[in-house]
Amino acid sequence: MSLPPSEVERTARHLQLPGFGMENQIRLHEAHVLVVGAGGLGCPALQSLASAGVGRITIIDDDTISLSNIHRQILFGASDVGQPKVAVAAARLREVQPGIDVTTLPDRLTVANACELIGSVDLVLDGSDSFATKYLIADAAEITGTPLVWGTVLRFHGDVCLFDRSVGLRDLFPEQPRGTDLPDCATAGVLGVTTAVVGALMATEAITFLSGIGTGQAGRLLSYDALAGTTRSFQVSADPSRPRVRALASDYSGGTHALLDEVRAGSALLLDIREPEEWELTDPLALLHPLRLPLSTVTGPEQLTTMLVDAPRVVVYCASGARSARFCEHYADLGFDLVDLPGGVNGLARRA
């Protein structure tokens, strides 16, 4: 095939690169990439992929834009607040590359649809921010043999890696971590520009792989430190003793769905220990009418005994599951059936 004259002109600086010819640009134009999450990582990656000439992109994200997104989600502005992320992102990509084919899915990636979606593309880029979704993506990519560009950010740090049939995420992290194993993102924060850098690095991995240029290899993990302005890398090797993933797990939520079903059935009380500024920003569980008890206001066992008297099982949640797990452990001897919600609300939101 040949490219439209306008696309040749738009990507002319690519064609001047040593070792980058028309065949490489055509490979990008013919590629189909699935981007999971139009957030802090997804936005810069999407912009870079469209700018580079990737001809077909599918975006899946069921979230709407909030004002707190804009400091790191560079495709959105203040006038977009309240609109679906996928719709606004697609409009921006069409402005960058008018001929691009963008499919928008205002939905969640789930066990039911992951293999079908990921198996239908040339590459999947993981712009999610929860380990539940990251392991779902990685397992589906391994099952279908789809190349995966994986990335994470926290505070001033980010990591990027390309996985393929030869090496996968479970060779790096064999088991999905719980919220208790991780820093609390609500209090740790993230430097907005760090997501832009890491998202662009993810796009670079995708572009070089799809176009066939460069010397990058699967399993090379690149770590970026924004404060030091440095990068380092090391090679992840396949674990020969690890069984390959052949089927998705039935649930990547760590029991979250079952616990919330108990709340809906009235056999458990939902207790939110986040601070007021956190629940005012986002509260995907508001319709379940949680009891609010900011951790900073907890005075001791007597207060809890009064508030939770005659309560059935108490499902405690915070942002990532770290504070709620510590809370349940600290007050375990009060006689209540306290259980933390794995992954917290971040595990439900799933986007950086």
- Taking phi first (over 0 means left), then psi (-120 to 50 degrees means alpha), and beta for anything else, what does residue 159 get? beta
Give the DSSP letter of residue 19. T
* Closest by Cα among 67, 93, 61 to 80: 67
Give the DSSP letter of residue 119. H
Sign of CA pseudo-dihedral 252, 61, 41, 116: positive
Q: How far apart are the first and last CA of the chain?
A: 37
Sign of CA pseudo-dihedral 216, 20, 165, 159: positive
* Closest by Cα among 130, 75, 80 to 108: 130
* Closest by Cα among 157, 104, 68, 55 to 351: 68
CB 251 within 8 A of CB 136: no
* Closest by Cα among 110, 111, 190 to 152: 190
**Catalytic residue numbers, as ranges:** 185, 318
Q: How distant, in Å, are the alpha carbons of 35, 103, 221, 236 from that of 121?
A: 10, 12, 23, 24
